[in-house]
Amino acid sequence: MIKNMGMADRAVRAIIAIMVGILYFTNQITGTAAIILGIFAIIFLLTSCVGSCPLYIPFKMSTTGKKTE
C-alpha cells in the first residue's frame, strides 16, 4: 500500500481516536453516537498505524509532502 499520510495527519487522527476512547470510557458519549464515533476511532487508529488512507487514493491526495503517481 502506498503511504499517503504525513506525520501530522497520522498524529491528528490518533489524537482524535484517543479522545473518542476517553469520552466513551468516561460515559460522556453513549448509544448510537458512541457506536458511530467508536467505528470512526478504530478506522482512524488503523489508518494512522498503517500510514495509508484508502479515501485519499481515488482523489490522488497525499499529506506526505511527496508527489504520488
Average pLDDT, the chain: 92
Those residues with Cβ within 8 angstroms of residue 50's Cβ, 6 or more apart along the chain or in another chain: 1
| Cα 7 to Cα 34, 49, 64, distances in angstroms | 27, 10, 7
For the chain, the structural domain boundaries read: 7-50
**pLDDT above 70: residue 64:** yes
Tens of pLDDT, residue by residue over 1-12, are 788 999 999 999
Predicted pLDDT of residue 65: 83
Predicted pLDDT of residue 69: 54
**pLDDT above 70: residue 62:** yes
Do 5 and 61 contact (CB within 8 A), yes or no? no
Task: Report residue 55 as a C-alpha cell.
Answer: 479515501
Angle of helix 31-50 versus helix 7-25 axis, rounded to 10: 150
Positions of E strands within the chain: none
